[in-house]
Every structure is written in structure tokens, then in C-alpha cells.
Chains A and B, each alone.
Chain A
Amino acid sequence: MESVTCPIELPQVVKFARALGEADPVYEDMDAAVEQGFRSVLTPPTFTQGLPRFFSKDVRVVEEDQSSGVSNRGEPFKQIGGSLHGEQHFEYFVDVCVGDVLTATTSVRRTWQKSGKSGTRNFLERVTEYHDESGVLVVRSTAVLVSRKTVAISGDA
């Protein structure tokens, strides 16, 4: 289990909202957000998913080996060519706003395998809970990751 401290900062929220083409000013303008009843600039619904990547000490450097197709961004399946995002679920309890400092705690809930014609794929369900500075759970984010390449059933990957 890894815990990462994630300060919610305006430039990052604005960049994220604009990358998604968000036009609502609550995602970048303090006055607009306050006018709509938020305590500060609001984050878009999917904002928290990638947040620990920015603040984790483990994944700051991108390493990739193009000949093998391996990238450390594909954790936790890097040994077999990285992972695909199969499912993503959010449960929202409290709005996440600029100025919040969240603690993201990630754990693996379960792993399993599915066999098909081309081999076996590994699945991993990872849960990240975001708590605010008072310890209140604000968002729970659950991801299902799938190994990018199939592996031989006899393989050790």
C-alpha cells in the first residue's frame, strides 16, 4: 500500500479541464466557482485518477525500451509490455477543489486471469482512496488494469 500526498493546484486543474475541452468556468475561475456554491475552483470528475502519478516518487522518470515495448508507465505489468485500462469507477463523497491537499492511498484489491485463444491475460483491480486533511474520504477510484500482451499459460509473468 502506497500513500501519496497530492496538493490540488490551479494550473494543473486548468490544464486538465482544457485538455478535455471543458468550457464551464467553475473549472478555472474562482469567482465563477464561488458563485455556483463551491469553496474554490472545482476539479472535473475524472481529475483525481492520474493525480498520484505527479507526486509519487516512484514514477517520475519515464523509461521505455522501444525494442521490447516495455515502459515503466505500464506498471504493474511492465514485465509483459505494460497494461491497458479495462475499467474505471469513481465514487464521489465530497467535491475536490483547488487548495485541497489529498492523501491518495492505493492498494491492490484482487488479481485474476482469463484464458482465451491467444493466451492468458492478467487482470488487476486497484483501489485508490483520497482523503482530505481532516481524514474524510472524498473520492474512491477503482481501476481494472489488463496486461497488454497475452502471456503463455505456462509463463511466469
Chain B
Amino acid sequence: MAAGTIAVGDQRVETLVTNLTPAQILAFAHASGDLDPLHINETFATEVAGYPTVVAHGMFTMGLAARILTTWVGPGKLRSYGSRFQKEVLANDTLLGTVTVVGLRDDGSERLADFSLEIRNQHGDVVLTGTASALVS
């Protein structure tokens, strides 16, 4: 991507998932190898852990959020990507992601853009905040 096409303040807002299903969480559990019963066992999640239903992996939300970045700057362009998991994502949630360009800088020979990320659920609660930097030229 040419540096001229991205500017501080540019923003993308995308729906990451609508009504997340337990089956989607289960598929991610197997794909990622994280079979913690909190994610895949309804009885465990509700009766033992005390949640209303199964909880999605933080890495699932982070992986979904990465798509906004990679579709924007292109695959293989990320130089760093970090997330703080603020609140549990549950089955049936709908997630809306907002990614904003917060800076542009040179790092050696590379032109980098810095991004902030914020993912909210259908109640407006922030479930993930994050930052990323990506090569843009």
C-alpha cells in the first residue's frame, strides 16, 4: 500500500461476527488447540465457572480483529499487534470493531502506520482494546 493512501485519523468500522455460535467457538478451539472447558463445555461454563454460556477465546476475538488490519494494509504487513482482553466474549455476542490510524512514522527504511483497535459487543461494552503497527510503503 502506498503511504499516500493512509492518513492519521483514517478509520474502519466493521462487524466482526454476528450472533457468535458455540459451534464457531468450538471450531476455533480445535483450530487453536485451546480446549479449555470454559470454551467448549456449556455445563462447565455455566455451573462451575458461573458464566451465562460458553466464553469465546480472547485469541478468537483478537484473530477476528486482525482481519480489519490485514484487509486494510494487506497480508504480511504487520510488525506488531497487541491486545488487552477487557471483558469476556460470550456465545451469541455480536462484535463491532473500530480501527483507527493514530500515527505514521519511519523506522529505519520502513514507513509504518500505528493503529488503535477497539472491539465492542452488542451492549456497547468494550471487550478488547489493542494497538498495531504495519508497514505501509
B115 interfacial contact with A, CB 8 Å: no
Instruction: Mark each residue of chain A from 49 to 92: 1 if its CB lies under 8 Å from any CB of chain B, else 0.
Output: 11101100000001010110101011000000010111111111
A22 to B83, Cβ gap below 8 A? no
User: What B residues does A91 contact at CB under 8 A?
Assistant: 79-80
Output the least CB separation between A123 and chain B (Å): 13
Whether B62 contacts A16 by the Cβ 8 Å rule is no
Q: Could you tell me the distance in whole angstroms from the C-beta of A151 to the nearest C-beta in chain B?
A: 16
Option from A20, A74, A82, A90 in Cβ contact (under 8 Å) with B28: A20
Q: In the complex, what distance in Å separates the CA atom of A55 from the CA atom of B126?
A: 34
Cβ–Cβ contact B80 & A19, under 8 A:
no
Please state if A87 and B85 are interface contacts (CB–CB under 8 Å): yes
- Is A124 an interface residue, CB under 8 A from the partner? no
Q: How near does chain B come to A23, taking the closest CB pair, in angstroms? A: 9
Q: What size tier do the contact residues of chain B reach? A: 35 or more
Establish whether residues A66 and B58, one from each chain, have CB atoms under 8 Å apart when the complex forms.
Answer: no
20 inter-chain pairs at a CB distance below 8 angstroms, sorted by A residue, are A16-B32, A18-B27, A19-B60, A20-B63, A20-B66, A21-B67, A24-B70, A36-B76, A38-B76, A44-B70, A45-B69, A50-B32, A67-B48, A69-B48, A84-B58, A85-B59, A85-B85, A86-B85, A89-B81, A91-B79
Residues of B within 8 A of A (CB): 17, 24, 27-28, 30-38, 41, 43-44, 47-49, 57-60, 62-64, 66-67, 69-71, 75-76, 78-85
Query: Does A148 make an interface contact (CB < 8 A)?
Result: yes
Q: In the complex the two chains form, is A46's CB within 8 Å of B75's CB? A: no
